[in-house]
Amino acid sequence: MRITMIGTGYVGLVSGVCFSEFGFDVTCVDKDQAKIAALQRGEVPIYEPGLAELMVKNADRLTFTTDLPGAVENADVIFIAVGTPTRRGDGEADLSYVYAAAREVGEAMRSGSVVVIKSTVVVGTCREVRRIIEETAPNKEFSVASNPEFLREGAAIEDFLRPDRVVVGVEDERGEQVLKALYRPLNLRQTPIVFTSLENAEITKYAANAFLAMKISFINEIADLCETVGGNVQDIARGIGLDNRIGPKFLHPGPGYGGSCFPKDTRALAATARRLGSPIRLVETTIAVNEERMRSIPDRVIAAHGGSVEGKTIAVLGIAFKPNTDDIREAPSLTAIPALQAAGATIRAHDPQAAEAAKPLLPDVTWCNSPYAAAEGADGLVIMTEWNEYRALNLATLSRTMRGNVLIDLRNIYPPEEVAPHAFNYHSVGRKPHT
């Protein structure tokens, strides 16, 4: 079976490479010529652990091109994995890239193809894709399927090759058989594959992301309560997380969820549901809580510096919205840093992978090539992202080379008792300072 993957971003590239690892011939298409040229040279345009190695290993089965018609006309299965960003103005998903790709697919594909929507799309989109292709190519016969992607950036290869489950929405037998064949390599691991309707698959993806985002906002509010009463959110997260009905994951408080999915997907679900007359108030509140949380981070940093950062130098460790990725879309650092600059702070920053992407968006930041270089001479240090290399910093060195002693650990990566001997003015999230 020949697969064509339209959209070679975080999802399309990982999916395409992983399908080649399953043994299929895959053609990856993108409109971005620079991206395709890099891929043709064997360079990986994003940072995703394990991806480069897998690309080299399966080079014989992988083709990269900007020629969409050429790639589509020879394909048995065509995946659409283009972006679905927030639409300006109303918070709904901008589906124009999906619909544009569908039109191009309709023109070029041959009869009998299966078109699979991998992008995260709101309920009804797959039906609209069918209508667009029928309009574009009235005499061609085809199937539409929905196969939302649940991979996490930073662990994307592992998630694709060893997923908890695969969700597939189909409208006919051909779609079901083709998707079954594509995911047959997962049978060995007895991975559950949920076959359902197109609409159910579309909603499943949003429901999953909204639920996870809700867990994060929930624990952030519990952390606030802990700060008010002198509690410890980590003990509480453990206390509730050991209940199998709740589970321990996504119960880590922090600066608010960012990234390329949770903010836009919660917004799209809330806006679409409200438009359809079935508002989901829990999700609307999750969004409001998260936006408020992100806005409050600079105030938290300013308060830790005694109420003003005017003339102070602050080191920020971690720009990416989470570790192991260079993705900075809607990262909390992107709102916190300009707000601190506006309050008079000078920012020195470090990120192991995301600095290049962040430079154009964060002017007047001094970029440093190590966390220690960033901390040198700083009044305060803020840990924004829990990269592994920030987890075992030499606190004695930091406290010696910093000018001030404010340490703000927005990811709770240090036990307060470990920090206590180092004379830091230590602030974490939802935990009493250790005195």
Residues lying near ligand NAD in the complex (CB under 6 A) are found at 6-12, 29-32, 35, 68, 81-84, 97, 100-101, 104, 119-120, 149, 151, 153, 260-261
How many CB atoms sit inside 10 A of residue 214's CB?
22
Minimum CB separation from ligand NAD for residue 123, in Å?
14
CA distance 314 to 151: 34
- For ligand NAD, the closer of residues 151 and 413 by Cβ is 151
Q: In terms of CB distance, is 11 or 309 closer to ligand NAD?
A: 11
Catalytic one among 28, 126, 261, 368? 261
User: Whole-number minimum distance, CB 395 to ligand NAD, in Å?
Assistant: 33
* Neighbour-count burial of 373, counting CB atoms closer than 10 A to its CB (0-12 exposed, 13-18 middle, 19+ buried): middle
Nearer to ligand NAD by Cβ, of 260 and 341: the residue is: 260
126 is catalytic: no
Q: Which residue is nearest to ligand NAD (CB)?
A: 9
Minimal distance, residue 363 CB to ligand NAD, in Å: 23
2 within 8 A of 22, measured Cβ to Cβ: no
Q: Which residue's CB is nearer to ligand NAD, number 100 or number 343? A: 100
Task: Pick between residue 104 and residue 176 the one whose CB is nearest to ligand NAD.
Answer: 104
Q: Are 66 and 29 in contact (CB under 8 A)?
A: yes
Is residue 58 within 8 Å of 22, Cβ to Cβ?
Answer: no
d(CA 207, CA 278): 14
| Min dist. Cβ of residue 205 to ligand NAD (A) | 7
Which of helix, strand or coil describes residue 348? Answer: strand
Do the Cβ atoms of 161 and 150 come closer than 8 Å?
no
CB of 288 to ligand NAD, least distance (A): 21
- Evaluate whether 17 touches 61 at the Cβ level (below 8 Å): no
How far is the C-alpha of 217 from the C-alpha of 213, rounded, in Å? Answer: 6
Catalytic residues: 261
